[in-house]
Chains A and B, each alone.
Chain A
Amino acid sequence: MKSHISTTINGDPVEFLCDPSQTLLNVLRNDLGMTGTKEGCGSGDCGACSVLFDGELVCACLVLGVEAQGAEIETVEGVATHDQLHVIQEKFLEHAALQCGICTPGLIVSTKALLEENPSPTEEEARYFLAGNLCRCTGYDKIIKAVMDAAATMRQGA
């Protein structure tokens, strides 16, 4: 039997029907058409599905859709405002911190969470915080450069 769920996604009230065995990732992508959140592994290892759930960075593949009842969810679709990219997104482009792009939405969401918690991370702190976001293409250096540059720019109040 499907459950009727009322939740908030990127500030907007959202309602959906879901089977209790569906993960939040599955609901976002297949029922709500929010395909920004990616599936890499489905087992909590890769971070491609990173979203904020009640303010906490989590893997959407390890949350049941029914758990979204009454929760506040933020996905990569909520990072840019209208047609203005977020500084983090701009810095990822500027530093060419992506190739295939599968890891990118998760990294953007995670980086935002990192910088909200710690606006001036050391490179080591950034690497540890982001250790759950795997990238098969870039070798990470460009990602870390983008993250550190975004942090510096955001500190200047850009």
Chain B
Amino acid sequence: MVALTYHAPESLEEAVQLLSTARQPVKVLSGGTDLIIQMQGLIQDERLVVDVKKIPGMRAADWTEDHLILGPSMSCAQFTKRQDIQTVFPGLVEAAYLIGSTQVQGRASIGGNLCNASPAADTIPALMVNRAVCLIQGLNGTRRVNVEDFLIGVGKQCLASDELLVGIELPKPTARTMDAYLRFIPRTEMDIAVAGAAVSVTLDDDGVCTDARVAIGAVSPTAILVPSAAEALIGTRLDDDALLAAAAASSQAANPISDRRGTVEFRRHVVGVLTKRAAKIAADRVGEV
């Protein structure tokens, strides 16, 4: 591995100070399930590793009146065990539950999944449909960036070198709103998405969809929101025609690559199917509460 210098600051101020004064390239460490593997490939290089897990709040998840404030470094194992979160964001929880294995979830975090910015990252579409906002702290203060604006390319997000993701703010959904996430993999577990889709729907008492969000993953350089798919759902009872229209919109919005895990045509098709099925699951969840 690379030559590492390791710090585990216990305050945000100290962390940001370390980031901005480092002489060598800096890497922020949450669970390390991406980072440690990436660093194993580098030889004769230097890195300053700033482990942010000891900073208060980074591994917590607390409700305010209107939001869930998620510490970006909380392990998926802790996150998926939280019944209070499962009830409100079942789709985000199922996305976190798909990451790797029990062991990987013991360390992997949603903030790490987001900052690593893989096109196939499972939690990102689910964060998008839930209107997540990234809370960012740098040397010159804080800023807020919507998750769909946070990602700028394959493996790239908009953090400056002195900035940290310090929280993920999730607005409490309005009444009768539920989400769902589905991905396609060739195996039943321990694999990376070939395509993924998250959907959030709000239904009125008559079952008419009054609001919706659709996001797709692994079919473009970053996960993306698909407003046209959401529009296909809004105003309908999520009947077959509406679901097919949403599926077509997702397939249309996809801009996938071909590789040995799936062709362009296959990914385009499957992301539509996943959109349709996730919309149905989200709607059924509204019916269940």
Interface flags for B173-188 (1: CB within 8 Å of A; 0: not) read: 0000000000000001
Would you call B88 an interface residue if the criterion is a C-beta within 8 Å of the partner chain's C-beta atoms?
no
A100 to B226, CA, bound (A): 50
Would you call B40 an interface residue if the criterion is a C-beta within 8 Å of the partner chain's C-beta atoms?
yes
Q: Is the CB of B75 within 8 A of A56?
A: yes
Shortest Cβ gap from A18 to chain B (Å): 10
Would you call A147 an interface residue if the criterion is a C-beta within 8 Å of the partner chain's C-beta atoms?
no
Would you call A57 an interface residue if the criterion is a C-beta within 8 Å of the partner chain's C-beta atoms?
yes
A23 to B107, CA, bound (A): 14
Would you call A85 an interface residue if the criterion is a C-beta within 8 Å of the partner chain's C-beta atoms?
no
Which residues of chain B come closer than 8 Å to A56, judged between CB atoms? 75, 77-78, 106-107
Interface flags for B65-86 (1: CB within 8 Å of A; 0: not) read: 0000000000101100000000
Shortest Cβ gap from A34 to chain B (Å): 18
Q: Is the CB of A58 within 8 A of B6?
A: no
**Contact stretch, chosen from A41-49, A76-84, A89-97, A149-157:** A41-49
**Contacts known (A56-B77, A110-B102, A131-B189); A69 close to B33, Cβ less than 8 A:** no
Which residues of chain B come closer than 8 Å to A114, judged between CB atoms? 102
Q: Is the CB of A21 within 8 A of B4?
A: yes
Which residues of chain B come closer than 8 Å to A128, judged between CB atoms? 189
Q: Is the CB of A64 within 8 A of B106?
A: no
Would you call A63 an interface residue if the criterion is a C-beta within 8 Å of the partner chain's C-beta atoms?
yes
**Contacts known (A20-B6, A69-B8); A131 close to B106, Cβ less than 8 A:** no
Q: Is the CB of A44 within 8 A of B37?
A: yes
Would you call B87 an interface residue if the criterion is a C-beta within 8 Å of the partner chain's C-beta atoms?
no
Question: Inter-chain contact count A-B, CB under 8 Å?
Answer: 88
Contact of B106 among A1, A20, A58, A61 (CB under 8 A): A58
Interface size class of A (residues with CB under 8 A): 20 to 34
Shortest Cβ gap from A14 to chain B (Å): 19
Shortest Cβ gap from B253 to chain A (Å): 32
Interface flags for A114-132 (1: CB within 8 Å of B; 0: not) read: 1000000000000011111
Would you call A50 an interface residue if the criterion is a C-beta within 8 Å of the partner chain's C-beta atoms?
yes
**Contacts known (A67-B51, A128-B189, A132-B190); A62 close to B102, Cβ less than 8 A:** no
Q: Is the CB of B106 within 8 A of A44?
A: no
Would you call A59 an interface residue if the criterion is a C-beta within 8 Å of the partner chain's C-beta atoms?
yes
A20 to B36, CA, bound (A): 11
Nearest A residue (CB) for B53: A67
**Contacts known (A56-B77, A131-B189); A64 close to B102, Cβ less than 8 A:** no
Would you call A98 an interface residue if the criterion is a C-beta within 8 Å of the partner chain's C-beta atoms?
no
Contact of B4 among A20, A53, A113 (CB under 8 A): A20
- Could you name 18 residue pairs across A and B whose Cβ atoms are closer than 8 Å? A21-B1, A50-B103, A57-B102, A57-B103, A57-B106, A58-B106, A59-B106, A62-B31, A62-B107, A63-B32, A63-B36, A64-B6, A67-B51, A69-B8, A110-B103, A130-B102, A132-B101, A132-B102
Give the interface of B toward A (CB within 8 A).
1-6, 8, 29, 31-33, 36-37, 39-40, 49, 51, 75, 77-78, 100-104, 106-107, 188-190
Known contacts A20-B4, A132-B103; can you find 13 more A-B pairs with CB under 8 A? A21-B3, A21-B39, A43-B37, A44-B33, A44-B100, A44-B104, A45-B190, A47-B101, A59-B106, A59-B107, A66-B8, A110-B102, A113-B102
Instruction: Rank and list the top 4 A-B pairs by shortest CB-CB distance, nearest first.
Output: A132-B101, A20-B6, A20-B4, A56-B106
